[in-house]
């Protein structure tokens, strides 16, 4: 791999202000695809979940998935967006073997949701508002597997296999406005934004938004302006970053790389870049096409989407309490500090604790169990709290049982696994 010149993070931030744009793709948890009735279930034989529509065969006609539209509206509302009274799908034309129709059905100048924001809380408790440009509906592509090369990339491969099961699975793409003013905290803002967005998506029940399963992925756009300037620089777009930590590292790396290029009098090329998990670096992808190159035009095979205002208002009324509001409420109810709440969140313990309290435990002991013994146990086994063979009801029972004096901790439920019973946390 070619060595990339980097400036130290501190030196980069002393001379430049970063501008960031985050594009997040979320795969919806609908039973069927966006424009046909094929199943979206994971794990099927390659190409078993396909039909003439998602294979792009001549004459096949798409039909819009109503739950897909509903989910998009819910996401838009939760992000404080305006919901279009009328919008259309568009064809984004380009050739790639994993896209059998030769175009992606997406939305272009008429997204279903636009002009919103998401407030994210940073580690020191400060709240940063990230403005949302748009959230639009589109479909996923199929999946290529390159065989014979050393790295699994297309370079050096002898042939490629294609699986179209994923082609046509509904995606919502959420695009931020340029994020300015975050300074040296830009990478932290990026991570906090994607984390909060994931919480919002999960609270709506529209997707599990598991980044490790590719259900949520983030493109990190980044550019630098010399300090004092207000003119945006040329951006790079690091594609498909798939963990929170990687989002932060990718932003940090690009700040250091851009700074090194600019300081030495070079220019940044507008291009996509690949992120490498092993060393946190990015390498050049392809020169970025302009929107004009895609020859977008309105999709002639689908009717426009005009969600009735009554429907939108009904969905607005049905929105759950937003995660940040809920966390603040719980924090007060439980009497814990911001920091403690942050570690509860990081441990994935909010819902288990809530369920344990609902099952009769008091807040302090529910917290103590999930953040103590059980967290340690989950950590050792490298599983999530919800995957432990103990339910919130079990924990509530244990925490309300009065043990004889000096009872040993050998009776800890985590070390005496029970079989799964009713899971009130899920």
Among 6, 12, 34, 38, binds Zn ion (CB under 5 A): 38
Q: How far is the CB of 239 from Mg ion (least distance, A)?
A: 8
Judged by CB under 5 A, the stretch of 18-26, 162-170, 199-207, 316-324 that binds Mg ion is 18-26
Among ligand ADP, Zn ion, Mg ion, none, the one that 21 touches (CB under a kind-dependent 5 to 8 A) is: ligand ADP
Among ligand ADP, Mg ion, Zn ion, none, the one that 87 touches (CB under a kind-dependent 5 to 8 A) is: none
Strands of the sheet containing 103-106, edge to edge, are 103-106, 90-93, 297-298
Nearer to ligand ADP, 62 or 233 (CB): 233
Nearer to ligand ADP, 258 or 327 (CB): 258
Which tokens belong to 378? 């989950």
Buried b (16+ CB within 10 A) or exposed e, 394-412: bbbebbeeeeeeeeeeeee
Which tokens belong to 400? 């309300």
Calpha distance 205→311 (Å, rounded): 18
What residues between 391 and 410 interact with ligand ADP by CB under 6 A? none
Q: Judged by CB under 6 A, how many residues of this single chain contact ligand ADP?
A: 17
189 binds Zn ion (CB under 5 A): no
Nearer to Mg ion, 23 or 373 (CB): 23
- At what angle are helices 350-358 and 323-334 packed, to 10 degrees? 60
Q: What Å distances lie between residue 103 and 12, 37, 139, 284, 418, CA to CA?
A: 40, 19, 10, 24, 51
21 binds ligand ADP (CB under 6 A): yes
Q: State how far Cα 304 lies from the chain centre.
A: 27
Among ligand ADP, Mg ion, Zn ion, none, the one that 326 touches (CB under a kind-dependent 5 to 8 A) is: none
What residues between 130 and 149 interact with ligand ADP by CB under 6 A? 133
Q: What Å distances lie between residue 3 and 6, 281, 283, CA to CA?
A: 9, 10, 10
- At what angle are helices 350-358 and 338-346 packed, to 10 degrees? 100
3-state SS class at 90: strand
Judged by CB under 5 A, the stretch of 47-55, 83-91, 144-152, 170-178 that binds Zn ion is 47-55
What residues between 187 and 226 interact with ligand ADP by CB under 6 A? 221-223
Judged by CB under 6 A, the stretch of 182-190, 228-236, 244-252, 379-387 that binds ligand ADP is 228-236
Residue 165 burial by Cβ neighbours in a 10 Å radius (0-12, 13-18, 19+)? buried
**Cα dihedral value 136, 141, 146, 151, nearest 10:** 10
x/- mask, Mg ion, residues 23-42, rule CB under 5 A, reads: x-------------------
Q: What is the 8-class DSSP label of residue 40? A: -
94 binds ligand ADP (CB under 6 A): no
Q: How far is the CB of 115 from ligand ADP (least distance, A)?
A: 13
Nearer to Mg ion, 23 or 208 (CB): 23
Among ligand ADP, Mg ion, Zn ion, none, the one that 68 touches (CB under a kind-dependent 5 to 8 A) is: none
Binding residues for ligand ADP, rule: CB under 6 A, are 19-23, 133, 175-178, 221-223, 232-233, 235, 237
Binding residues for Zn ion, rule: CB under 5 A, are 36, 38, 51, 53-54
């Amino acid at each position: 791999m070619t060595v990339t010149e980097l400036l130290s993070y501190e030196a980069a931030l002393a001379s430049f202000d970063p501008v960031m744009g985050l594009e997040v793709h979320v795969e919806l948890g609908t039973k069927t695809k966006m424009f046909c009735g094929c199943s979206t279930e994971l794990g099927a034989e390659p190409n078993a979940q396909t039909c003439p529509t998602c294979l792009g065969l001549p004459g096949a006609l798409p039909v819009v998935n109503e739950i897909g539209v509903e989910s998009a509206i819910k996401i838009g509302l939760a992000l404080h967006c305006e919901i279009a009274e009328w919008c259309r799908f568009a064809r984004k034309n380009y050739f790639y073997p994993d896209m059998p129709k030769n175009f992606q059905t997406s939305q272009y100048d008429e997204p279903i949701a636009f002009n919103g924001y998401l407030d994210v809380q940073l580690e020191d408790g400060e709240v940063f508002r990230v403005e949302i440009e748009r959230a639009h509906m589109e479909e996923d592509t199929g999946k290529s597997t390159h065989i014979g090369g050393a790295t699994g990339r297309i370079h050096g491969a002898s042939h490629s296999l294609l699986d179209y099961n994923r082609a046509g699975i509904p995606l919502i793409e959420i695009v931020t406005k340029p994020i300015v003013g975050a300074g040296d905290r830009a990478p932290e803002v990026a991570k906090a934004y994607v984390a909060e967005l994931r919480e919002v998506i999960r609270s709506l029940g529209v997707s599990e938004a598991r980044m490790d399963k590719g259900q949520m992925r983030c493109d990190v756009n980044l550019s630098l302006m010399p300090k004092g300037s207000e003119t945006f620089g040329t951006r790079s777009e690091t594609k498909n970053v798939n963990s929170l930590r990687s989002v932060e590292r990718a932003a940090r790396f690009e700040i250091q790389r851009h700074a090194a290029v600019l300081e030495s009098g070079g220019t940044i090329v507008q291009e996509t870049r690949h992120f490498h998990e092993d060393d946190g670096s990015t390498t050049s992808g392809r020169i970025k096409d302009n929107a004009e190159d895609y020859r977008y035009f309105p999709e002639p095979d689908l009717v426009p989407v005009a969600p009735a205002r009554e429907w939108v208002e009904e969905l607005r009324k049905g929105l759950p309490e937003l995660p940040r509001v809920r966390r603040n409420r719980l924090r007060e109810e439980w009497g814990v500090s911001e920091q403690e709440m942050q570690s509860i969140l990081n441990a994935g313990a909010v819902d288990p604790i809530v369920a344990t309290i609902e099952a009769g435990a008091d807040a302090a002991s529910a917290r103590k169990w999930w953040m103590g013994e059980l967290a340690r146990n989950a950590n050792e086994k490298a599983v999530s709290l919800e995957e432990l063979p103990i339910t919130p009801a079990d924990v509530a029972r244990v925490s309300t049982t009065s043990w004889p004096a000096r009872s040993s901790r050998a009776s800890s439920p985590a070390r005496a696994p029970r079989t799964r019973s009713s899971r009130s946390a899920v």
